[in-house]
């Protein structure tokens, strides 16, 4: 990895600002113009490992394979839809997106959760097999570091929803061997492991007895425990059970979204920090802005009514022009500043060592904020953090060092047990 301090000093000096060889304080960045600061942000993004805790590419590939009848989505080239592909990842400096092996909660009732997980894992591995010069699998921070030095994008695996365990503790070892390195314990419904933040039945009042065994076995195997999607009671049970730090792979601060249990409240964030864990901030509009859903619903309602009144289909040229103009004039989307607000808030509660990035790209649809619409735009967030006085060291912690620290602790515990 190149010396960011030396690089930033060089660039600041090139813009005629005073900078001694060791000057890397935040005042230098705040004194830059917006254009200069963005150029620095791009350099930081491209010279620092960026890990994203949650990208829903595998399920997107599954959907597009079914609708477009193609064996594998060509993410080695720029894609027309979606939020992730190789060219845009390189533009944004994304090096290690955790590929979400997403299992819809309905499979807890219909069956087939393990089979679907296997399919999505193999589909993800096929990316690295098909384009080995661009992508590589990664099963540890060392793998990511190695791939980064070779200029390749790593594809670590995280499973969203523990339903594929299917009540058999031995399946945890099976999925570890398949490459899964974190498991989000629940998703949209309570499951055999514990209660979900989106459900209201709370059948276990936290972790089930089986869920306690699952967390302990994940610790033993070296699989990170992910508490995104769990209920508050489940979270606190996990805190009591886990012997190592845990992560929230794609959650934000409930402070900005009162009543939205899917995000973490202040006490939970503090507890996560005391545990040594990391909350990886979700970029989705409803996660970062309480008013987004209401504003977005009003815009969509107007567009539906306008289309009906004027006899247009949404993809008619006249309709597309009108929709683009109307959305621009009545923009419901939050901005990149909102994501930075969540980072600020977590830092004030738990400290800089407990923040990461968990965008939920390809998972939150058309709700992403202005300035963070796809994986090419991480420099916009870095520029905003520089503007707010974050140091290079702070940004490196957010981008990869914090999640590497947790992951390595999980590995160390597993190796010792």
* pLDDT averages per 10-residue partition of the chain, 417 residues: 53 41 55 94 98 97 76 91 97 98 94 96 97 98 98 98 97 98 97 96 96 98 98 98 98 97 98 98 96 84 88 86 84 92 98 98 95 98 97 97 98 97
Pair 30, 386: CB distance under 8 Å: yes
Q: 3-class DSSP state for residue 388?
A: coil
pTM, two decimal places = 0.91
**Helix or strand holding residue 109 (H, E):** helix 107-110
Residues 6 or more apart in contact with residue 390 via CB below 8 angstroms:
26, 398
Using CA atoms, how far apart are residues 43 and 50, in angstroms rounded to an integer?
12
Q: Which residues pair with 361 in a beta bridge?
A: 55
Please give the pLDDT value at position 15: 42
Q: Residue 215: its pLDDT value, please? A: 98
Q: Distance of alpha carbon 2 from its chain centroid, rounded? A: 25
Residue 270 corresponds to which tokens in the numbers above?
């503090």
Looking at residue 3, its pLDDT comes to 54
CA distances from 368 to 147, 269, 357 (A): 28, 23, 14
Go through 278-290 and write b for each residue having 16 or more CB atoms within 10 A of its CB, e for each that does not: bbbbbbbbbbbbe
Dihedral angle sign, alpha carbons of residues 208, 409, 375, 76:
negative
Residue 165 has a pLDDT of 97
What residue ranges in 10-127 does DSSP mark as E strands?
Answer: 51-55, 96-102
User: CATH fold of 50-289+334-416, please?
Assistant: TIM Barrel (3.20.20)
Crossing angle between the packed helical segments 336-350 and 378-387, to the nearest 10 degrees: 60
Domain limits of the chain? Answer: 50-289+334-416
């Amino acid at each position: 990895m190149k010396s960011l301090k030396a690089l930033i000093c060089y660039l600041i000096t090139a813009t005629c600002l005073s900078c001694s060889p060791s000057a890397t304080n935040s005042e230098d960045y705040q004194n830059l113009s917006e254009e200069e600061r963005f150029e620095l942000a791009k350099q930081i993004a491209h010279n620092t490992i960026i890990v994203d805790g949650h990208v829903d590419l595998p399920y997107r590939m599954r959907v597009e394979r079914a609708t477009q009848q193609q064996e594998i989505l060509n993410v080695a080239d720029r894609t027309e839809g979606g939020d992730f592909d190789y060219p845009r990842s390189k533009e944004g400096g994304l090096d290690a997106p955790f590929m979400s092996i997403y299992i819809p909660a309905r499979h807890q009732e219909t069956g087939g959760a393990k089979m679907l997980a296997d399919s999505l894992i193999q589909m993800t591995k096929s990316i690295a097999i098909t384009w080995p010069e661009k992508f590589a699998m990664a099963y540890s921070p060392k793998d990511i570091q190695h791939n980064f030095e070779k200029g390749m994008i790593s594809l670590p695996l995280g499973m969203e929803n523990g339903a594929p365990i299917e009540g058999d503790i031995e399946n945890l070892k099976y999925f570890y061997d398949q490459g899964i390195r974190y498991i989000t314990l629940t998703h949209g419904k309570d499951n055999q492991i514990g209660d979900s933040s989106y459900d209201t039945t709370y059948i276990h009042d936290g972790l089930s007895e089986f869920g306690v065994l699952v967390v302990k076995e994940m610790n033993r195997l070296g699989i990170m425990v992910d508490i995104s999607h769990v209920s508050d009671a489940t979270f606190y049970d996990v805190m009591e059970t886990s012997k190592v730090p845990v992560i929230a792979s794609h959650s934000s601060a409930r402070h900005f979204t009162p009543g939205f249990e899917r995000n973490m409240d202040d006490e939970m964030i503090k507890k996560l920090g005391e545990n040594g864990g990391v909350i990886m901030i979700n970029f989705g509009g409803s996660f970062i802005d309480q008013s987004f859903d209401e504003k977005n619903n009003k815009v969509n309602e107007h567009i539906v009514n306008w289309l009906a009144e004027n006899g247009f289909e949404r993809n008619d040229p006249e309709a597309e022009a009108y929709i683009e103009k109307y959305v621009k004039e009545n923009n419901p989307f939050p901005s990149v500043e909102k994501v930075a607000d969540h980072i600020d808030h977590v830092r004030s509660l738990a400290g800089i060592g407990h923040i990461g990035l968990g965008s939920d790209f390809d998972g939150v649809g058309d709700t992403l904020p202005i300035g963070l619409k796809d994986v090419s735009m991480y420099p916009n967030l870095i520029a905003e953090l520089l503007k707010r006085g974050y140091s290079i060291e702070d940004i490196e912690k957010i981008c990869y060092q914090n999640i590497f620290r947790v992951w390595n602790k999980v590995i160390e515990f597993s190796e010792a047990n």
